[in-house]
Every structure is written in structure tokens, then in C-alpha cells.
């Protein structure tokens, strides 16, 4: 096994290793989705704050949470900082979306390389059968455990 034709040293050894790598990749993609969603919620909160304080008098005092400490400032001081934070969050979201797209492409290449197919649950299979009605070919098997 020391000489693989065209393979690199990081090639998975067996099906279980491939499945573990695949699961890890899917988990990373899900983490990207959840973090992007979390950041998008923060951006919408920043937008609400900006919309609420923009029409107010710039000399009016307001409070801002900085590192867990509530600080008294004026709207004139707070508004630009909130806008900068919002822009920074939007930049992070765009970078994370790019990284997510790269990871999805890497996952699809991995799926193609190892010919990975996802098994559908029984409910999903029943939905597909209901949609295709008569166009399905092959053997229809009952649920597991109903062999007798």
C-alpha cells in the first residue's frame, strides 16, 4: 500500500474514513450557515437602531453597550459607530458567504470523487413516490423489520 498511483498521502483509507470526512465537511457547512444567520440578525438589529436614532436630535443623549458596560454618549457620537459596526458585519458576512461557497464546492467535488449519495429517510422516499406516481422503476421495499 506504500505506492498509490496518483494518490496523495491524505487519501482516506476506507469507507468509514470517507464517511467521517464527509460528515465533518457537512458539519462545517452547517456551522457557516448558522454563523451567517446569526450575523444577519445582528445586521438587522443595527439597521433598526440606525433607523430609530437617525431622525432624533444629534445632541440627545443615548446609551450604548460597549464590552458589557453601558456607556452614556450622544447620538452624534453613537450613530457613526453603529453604522461602522453594521458595515463591518456586512463585510464579514460577504467573506463568510465566499468561504461557504468554496466549502460547498469542495464538498460536491468530494461527493463526486467518492461517488457519495445521500439516502433519503422513509418519509422523503414516500413523498418522492407520491410525486412520481407510476414513473418509478425498480423494486419497492417495505419498512425495515417488516420482512415476515
pLDDT at position 9, please?
55
> What are the backbone dihedrals phi and psi of residue 109, each rounded to the nearest 5 degrees, phi first?
-65, -40
Q: Does domain 15-114 have CATH number 3.40.50.720?
A: no
What's the pLDDT at 117? 86
Residue 34 has pLDDT above 90, yes or no: yes
CA angle 45–46–47, rounded 5-degree value: 90
pLDDT surpassing 70 at residue 128: no
* pTM of the complete model: 0.73
What average pLDDT does the chain have?
84
User: What is the mean pLDDT of the segment spanning 6-20?
Assistant: 74
Domain boundaries, the chain: 15-114
Amino acid at each position: 500500500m506504500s505506492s498509490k498511483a496518483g494518490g496523495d498521502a491524505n487519501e482516506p483509507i476506507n469507507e468509514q474514513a470517507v464517511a467521517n470526512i464527509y460528515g465533518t465537511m457537512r458539519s462545517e457547512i452547517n456551522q457557516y450557515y448558522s454563523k451567517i444567520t446569526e450575523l444577519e440578525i445582528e445586521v438587522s438589529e443595527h439597521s433598526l437602531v440606525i433607523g430609530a436614532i437617525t431622525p432624533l436630535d444629534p445632541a440627545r443623549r443615548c446609551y450604548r453597550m460597549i464590552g458589557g458596560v453601558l456607556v452614556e454618549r450622544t447620538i452624534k457620537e453613537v450613530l457613526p459607530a453603529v453604522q461602522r459596526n453594521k458595515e463591518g458585519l456586512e463585510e464579514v458576512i460577504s467573506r463568510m458567504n465566499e468561504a461557504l461557497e468554496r466549502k460547498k464546492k469542495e464538498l460536491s467535488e468530494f461527493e463526486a470523487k467518492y461517488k457519495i449519495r445521500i439516502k433519503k429517510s422513509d418519509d422523503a422516499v414516500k413523498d418522492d413516490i407520491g410525486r412520481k406516481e407510476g414513473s418509478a422503476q425498480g423494486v419497492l421495499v417495505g419498512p425495515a423489520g417488516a420482512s415476515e
